[in-house]
Structure 1
Amino acid sequence: MKPKTYTAEEVKKASFEYFQGDELAATVWSTKYALKDSYGNFYELTPDDMHKRLAREIARIEKQYPNPLTEDELFELFQHFKYIVPQGSPMTGIGNDFQIASLSNCFVIGFDHDADSYGGIIKIDEEQVQLMKRRGGVGHDLSHIRPKGSPVKNSALTSTGIVPFMERYSNSTREVAQDGRRGALMLTVSIKHPDSESFIDAKLEAGKITGANISVKIHDDFMQAALAQETYTQQFPIDDNNPWFKKEIDAHSLWKKIIHNAWQSAEPGVLFWDTIIRESVPDCYTDLGFKTISTNPCGEIPLCGYDSCRLLAINLYSYVNHPFTPEASFDYDLFKNHVAIAQRIMDDIIDLEMEKIDKIIAKINADPEDEEIKRTELKLWEKIKNKTLLGRRTGVGTTAEGDMLAALGLRYGTNSAIDFSEQIHKILALSAYRSSVTLAKERGAFSIYDAKREENNPYILRLREADPELYNDMVKYGRRNIACLTIAPTGTTSIMTQTTSGIEPVFMPVYTRRRKVNPNDKNVRIDFVDENGDSWEEYVVFHHKFVTWMEANHYSTTQKYTKSELDELVEKSPYYKATANDIDWLKKVQMQGRIQKWVDHSISVTINLPADTTEELVGQLYEEAWRCGCKGVTVYREGSRAGVLLSMEEKKPEKSGERKICFPQSDEHLIRPKELDCDV
């Protein structure tokens, strides 16, 4: 029977009703995640249809193993984005026969050996493009490229260094990102590399390297030299005991430049590489191909070459009983149960990814091009398939941390809130690893598991101390997955869960949000064009859970409020002094470090700072992040470049006088207010 189809207008109307008047959530879901073909026909009317698709496919995999979850059980977990939310590529790709695409959110590519020839550089460029066209974000490291001025045996006589190739990879990303396809890129380089200063400066010029995020890999000995104002030796090759090039630099000056550039332009991000490697469980298997070399575009998944990861978020807010009331409490038992199921679902998605990769490989083999043309793409996917099966890496994470804390009456950034957050992520880690051990008993451990290799890993030792029984069972039965956990940005995910994202605080109770418009999006308005030429729609948004707090505390959500009246409401709420711009930023960094102890991959966090923030404060935040065990840190100073979220103050009022801010008229429980009829 021919499946029922819908028009874009029908889907947008139905999803608008599904999200109870939240235009932004409806637009995000219908344009990014609703099942559709190349001709504009939609096959899903609301997210319920999507969640049924996900549940059906995952249940099909479950039937291949003992104690299978049913389709109904899975749908109940997915419905309304309440508990478990597969993110991005899994949400789009599972059960989608209209695209031959991967279910992986992110990949890292790179060589196991030095390869800085043009052939090696171009090969990475092609691999990057081939992955991006299948929807994946890509990261790779540039530390293998010889520094500028090095002798080469071609017509140039000397090397051009790293920066021209940064531009090349960036341009490739923007090409793939055209026509609605997704391109996201992370470029990294070691601070040991003699060209690292040029790398750090590369994005200061407007319009340069707009298709890539950049992060510098900072080593402990560099930090020690920088803080002691000592010299530091850079070399090439960076890890060679007998490098053929060395130079001494002023470590403090280069550190100050990193801070200045981050303050001025929000980049580079910083990766504390020794912490990443020291804590990495997969790096216990370096000699078997699991040496971590770079990260995905948002930094939450450090990966070895040709490995990949799929992401899933658990909605923490949904485990708060009686939110925003004196009776509020966290449902620990339900949370532990769902974490175990989430880990199981992620393992199922690996099997679904194997099916997708087989289809990609079959497509490549069936293409009419010459075998020589297809060779790189074919070998690329074969390597990714082998590495994925070898480690069975997963990315179980969370979202709605800020709303969870507020709903429990805890102010984000306070000691009590940080203590509670660490407790939740400790429970999550122990529950996920327990689930992976159970899966090993039922399905088999990842094939290279070796307890002896892992016995001195700091993360594994932490689990062992917290739960000796878990550790003993892991030694006995193995573990299904080489690594399990992360915390991703959850940008569009949080729009659909209608919560704060990741471990971030609420941005503001009322703000303007931008949604990027792809060139092939239809029936959209363009409100803003950024410095890179990308187009954006803008939405005035009331943070949904702030409205929930108002309802729980009997404040009207239908009357009009002036800005000063709204400010008074915020002061009475648990969101007061808990927004991105007015939290204690050092406390936020410390919170990230405390949570990081229980996350085996990494955490994607941006410290949002007001426009008048000093470079000195940015330096303090970066130093504190290193000291307290964060694996990476990024800052965004308001106005330093075009952002996705804007304070209301950034939007000039169209009329004179105090701006009126109002809530929509509605008899229903508000998930997020409708488009506002007010002066802003």
Structure 2
Amino acid sequence: MIPMTAAPPDRLPLPLLTTEARVVLRNRYLAKRRGATGRETPAHMFWRIATDIASAELRYSKRSRLPHAASRFYEMMARLDFLPNSPTLMNAGRSLQQLSACFVLPVEDSLASILESVKSQALVHQSGGGTGFSFNRIRPRHDLVASTNGMASGPISFMRVFNLTTDVIKQGGARRGANMGILQIDHPDILDFIALKRNPAEMTNFNLSVGLTRSFMRARKQNRFYALINPRTGLAVKRISARMVFDRLVDAAWESGEPGVLFLDTINRANPTPRLGRIEATNPCGEQPLLPFESCTLGSINVSNFVLERPDGPVLDYSRLGETVELAVRFLDNVIDRNRYPLAEIEAATKRTRKIGLGIMGFADLLIRLRIPYDSDQALAVARRLMQFLKSQAHRASHRLAEERGPYPALHRDRAHTSGILRNATVTTIAPTGTISIIAGCSPGIEPIYAIQTVRTVLNGRQLVTRHPLFMRMARVEGLDLDRIQTHLDAAPSIRDVPTIPSHLRLLFPTAHDVAPEHHVRMQAIFQRYSDSGVSKTINLPSTATRQEVARALLLAHELGCKGLTVFRSGSRADQVLSCTKTKSC
């Protein structure tokens, strides 16, 4: 419990929250208050966070401090223009004070290292973070263990230990741990890894990704064999068909949605600190490639809040958006100083590069407000201009902070960012924003809307039924029979084929499965072009999608420079979070 938190000044706005947002906040975020009954209010929560993060300003000279920082941070959050990742919302100004969502931990090829990583994972999960691991250094199954004269059990056996540990650690009392497990395509156990999630009982606390290389992709294209390499010896142990392995990967992704893929060479071409090492792993949702022991604090701007209605039509308010970007970058940099890290190694690695990840949410809602269908070339053009602007403004803000406070310590001046010396090695990323988008009352990340009516399973199995507010508002303006529409919404996610709804509305509200897989990938690629880190996006496919469509999506993502890809065919997972009715996946 926390003491009574001071209320925000009366001149500051109170947050206007949806019913769904209030349910999520009460269940997961609002602190119990010592000396009073019940929990803090949402306004108290935002003021708690704002005052705590603003206190980092005192570390620096008066020249580099932001006047009235707490009030400005509060207003940015209370207006739902920007929200930080969940650990910051939960823990800032409280005893735990662990504020990062993303961590990568090393796993070396020894029992002592593996068990030390399990211990570190448990501490990170207990503090509210998620973890990513590369298991590529662990020797393959049946390899020699010289110390015992026995046979190695391989990386998958040890992954099960990490998975079990997650089962018994409840994050901060409110979040269940999440993990990313990665194995490179040339590891001898790669076929077993690819098939792992075809058993729904396996690795239930892990997302899995295969690390693909340029040499493998060339071998697949040329229909050649490639070498599997024992990481203990560095020697080839076998040569197998690249096309066969790729087809196995496609089959598994089609069947279960996993594994996803990471294009490791693409990731490392954008590595801002290559002299510190090669990046081999990401956070659980794949958008944050990190070096061992690095963490990253994320935050997202709700771009649907920045639309101006003008006589000649709606436009995006780039001026106000730019001001918010600059304030959000400062907020996230302050978080690094206010963070209480679960391990000393994590603190050292994080402060060496000071990585932050500023992204967006509400992109689908923005397009609707601009009267632009998501699955159109015009939407791709909006994405390009928006993300290009976000990156340039965010880098400018990080550069100004570097001038005031100094650059990140690991800055390699021979490989400085094109925008100059920065305070943060990475500045932009696109996160999934699953829960904070509910709080903000907007569509998640850069995804299209999942359905006009969505049933979301949240903590403790509670179901939240939501109907897209912009659709409902426009339907009322059009004078549509909402009871008749509701009958359809209960039965299907899409309105594309409902003749009683005007065609312009049907075009304006494409759902995830109305959007062609190629368009999904092209949208991701545009955002990736202007993201320092990665992009979390799901290529949603209908249940009728073929393996060939999955393969085409993976190949197009590689061709267009994406850092990774996740496909999900509806109904391929029994426990999916989103559905269109209380009993039916869509």
TM-score by length of 1: 0.78
8 Å contact kept, 1:101–1:135:
no
| Deviations 1:324-376 (CA, angstroms, capped at 9, x unpaired) | x96211111111111111111111111111xx23xx6xxxxxxxxxxxxxxxx
Output aligned runs, 1:145-544, within 5 Å: 145-155=138-148, 157-177=150-170, 180-237=174-231, 243-283=234-274, 285-286=275-276, 290-322=277-309, 327-353=313-339, 356-357=340-341, 381-454=343-416, 460=417, 464=418, 471=419, 474=420, 478-517=421-460, 536-544=461-469
Q: 1:62 aligns with which of 30, 35, 57?
A: 57
Alpha carbons of structure 1 residues 555 and 40: separation in structure 2 relative to 1, 3 Å: farther
8 Å contact kept, 1:291–1:305:
no
Alpha carbons of structure 1 residues 130 and 492: separation in structure 2 relative to 1, 3 Å: same
Alpha carbons of structure 1 residues 177 and 571: separation in structure 2 relative to 1, 3 Å: farther
Q: CA deviation at 1:37?
A: 6.5
8 Å contact kept, 1:406–1:574:
no
For residues 338 and 265 of structure 1, the distance between their equivalents in structure 2, rounded to whole angstroms, comes to: 39
AA aligned to 1:483 is: T
Output aligned runs, 1:528-607, within 5 Å: 536-550=461-475, 553-555=477-479, 561-564=485-488, 567=498, 568-569=500-501, 571-573=503-505, 576=508, 578-607=510-539
For residues 276 and 481 of structure 1, the distance between their equivalents in structure 2, rounded to whole angstroms, comes to: 17
Alpha carbons of structure 1 residues 117 and 491: separation in structure 2 relative to 1, 3 Å: same
For residues 548 and 583 of structure 2, the distance between their equivalents in structure 1, rounded to whole angstroms, comes to: 24
Give 5+ residue unaligned stretches, structure 2: 6-14, 490-494
Give 5+ residue unaligned stretches, structure 1: 6-16, 361-380, 455-459, 465-470, 518-535, 653-680
Residue 122 of structure 2 aligns with which residue?
A: 129
8 Å contact kept, 2:100–2:295:
yes
- Three-state SS of the structure 1 residue aligned to 2:385 is helix
Alpha carbons of structure 1 residues 129 and 67: separation in structure 2 relative to 1, 3 Å: closer
AA aligned to 1:84 is: F
8 Å contact kept, 2:3–2:35:
no
- Three-state SS of the structure 2 residue aligned to 1:623 is helix
For residues 561 and 601 of structure 1, the distance between their equivalents in structure 2, rounded to whole angstroms, comes to: 41
Is the counterpart of residue 617 in structure 1 residue 549 in structure 2?
yes
AA aligned to 2:85 is: Q
| Deviations 1:128-185 (CA, angstroms, capped at 9, x unpaired) | 1111111110111100000111111254611111211121111111111386453111
Alpha carbons of structure 1 residues 62 and 293: separation in structure 2 relative to 1, 3 Å: same
Residue 8 of structure 2 aligns with which residue?
A: none
Q: CA deviation at 1:59?
A: 2.5
Q: CA deviation at 1:291?
A: 3.2
Residue 93 of structure 1 aligns with which residue?
A: 91
8 Å contact kept, 1:498–1:544:
no
- Three-state SS of the structure 1 residue aligned to 2:458 is strand
Q: CA deviation at 1:38?
A: 10
| Deviations 1:213-239 (CA, angstroms, capped at 9, x unpaired) | 11110001111111222111111228x
- Three-state SS of the structure 1 residue aligned to 2:54 is helix
Alpha carbons of structure 1 residues 649 and 84: separation in structure 2 relative to 1, 3 Å: closer
For residues 176 and 189 of structure 2, the distance between their equivalents in structure 1, rounded to whole angstroms, comes to: 29
Alpha carbons of structure 1 residues 550 and 61: separation in structure 2 relative to 1, 3 Å: farther
Q: 2:576 aligns with which of 640, 643, 647?
A: 643
Residue 118 of structure 1 aligns with which residue?
A: 111
| Deviations 1:457-490 (CA, angstroms, capped at 9, x unpaired) | xxx4xxx4xxxxxx3xx2xxx2111111111110
For residues 48 and 557 of structure 1, the distance between their equivalents in structure 2, rounded to whole angstroms, comes to: 37
8 Å contact kept, 2:104–2:282:
yes
Alpha carbons of structure 1 residues 651 and 268: separation in structure 2 relative to 1, 3 Å: closer
User: How high is the sequence identity, in percent, across the aligned residues?
Assistant: 30
For residues 304 and 584 of structure 1, the distance between their equivalents in structure 2, rounded to whole angstroms, comes to: 34
AA aligned to 1:399 is: M
Alpha carbons of structure 1 residues 73 and 539: separation in structure 2 relative to 1, 3 Å: closer
Alpha carbons of structure 1 residues 196 and 173: separation in structure 2 relative to 1, 3 Å: same
Query: After the TM superposition, which of the residue ranges 609-618 and 168-177 deviates more from structure 2?
Result: 168-177
For residues 39 and 201 of structure 1, the distance between their equivalents in structure 2, rounded to whole angstroms, comes to: 53
AA aligned to 1:618 is: V
Q: CA deviation at 1:43?
A: 3.9
For residues 627 and 39 of structure 1, the distance between their equivalents in structure 2, rounded to whole angstroms, comes to: 59
Q: CA deviation at 1:577?
A: 6.1
Alpha carbons of structure 1 residues 225 and 650: separation in structure 2 relative to 1, 3 Å: farther
| Deviations 1:636-677 (CA, angstroms, capped at 9, x unpaired) | 11110021111239549xxxxxxxxxxxxxxxxxxxxxxxxx
8 Å contact kept, 1:411–1:574:
no
8 Å contact kept, 1:129–1:176:
yes
Q: CA deviation at 1:433?
A: 0.5
Query: After the TM superposition, which of the residue ranges 259-268 and 573-582 deviates more from structure 2?
Result: 573-582
| Deviations 1:269-308 (CA, angstroms, capped at 9, x unpaired) | 110111111122233x32xxx5322100010100000110
Residue 673 of structure 1 aligns with which residue?
A: none
| Deviations 1:164-208 (CA, angstroms, capped at 9, x unpaired) | 112111111111138645311111011111111111111212311
| Deviations 1:359-404 (CA, angstroms, capped at 9, x unpaired) | x6xxxxxxxxxxxxxxxxxxxx111111121111111111011111
Query: After the TM superposition, which of the residue ranges 498-507 and 172-181 deviates more from structure 2?
Result: 172-181
For residues 84 and 583 of structure 2, the distance between their equivalents in structure 1, rounded to whole angstroms, comes to: 33
- Three-state SS of the structure 2 residue aligned to 1:131 is helix
For residues 175 and 512 of structure 2, the distance between their equivalents in structure 1, rounded to whole angstroms, comes to: 31
- Three-state SS of the structure 2 residue aligned to 1:123 is helix
Alpha carbons of structure 1 residues 413 and 557: separation in structure 2 relative to 1, 3 Å: same
Alpha carbons of structure 1 residues 3 and 147: separation in structure 2 relative to 1, 3 Å: closer
Q: CA deviation at 1:570?
A: 7.1
Q: CA deviation at 1:18?
A: 5.5
Alpha carbons of structure 1 residues 577 and 407: separation in structure 2 relative to 1, 3 Å: closer
For residues 39 and 31 of structure 1, the distance between their equivalents in structure 2, rounded to whole angstroms, comes to: 20
Alpha carbons of structure 1 residues 55 and 206: separation in structure 2 relative to 1, 3 Å: closer
For residues 312 and 649 of structure 1, the distance between their equivalents in structure 2, rounded to whole angstroms, comes to: 31
For residues 264 and 155 of structure 1, the distance between their equivalents in structure 2, rounded to whole angstroms, comes to: 39
AA aligned to 1:321 is: L
| Deviations 1:232-259 (CA, angstroms, capped at 9, x unpaired) | 1111228xxx723421011101101111
Give the aligned CA root-mean-square deviation in angstroms: 2.5
Equivalent residues, number: 561
8 Å contact kept, 1:105–1:136:
yes
Query: After the TM superposition, which of the residue ranges 593-602 and 100-109 deviates more from structure 2?
Result: 100-109
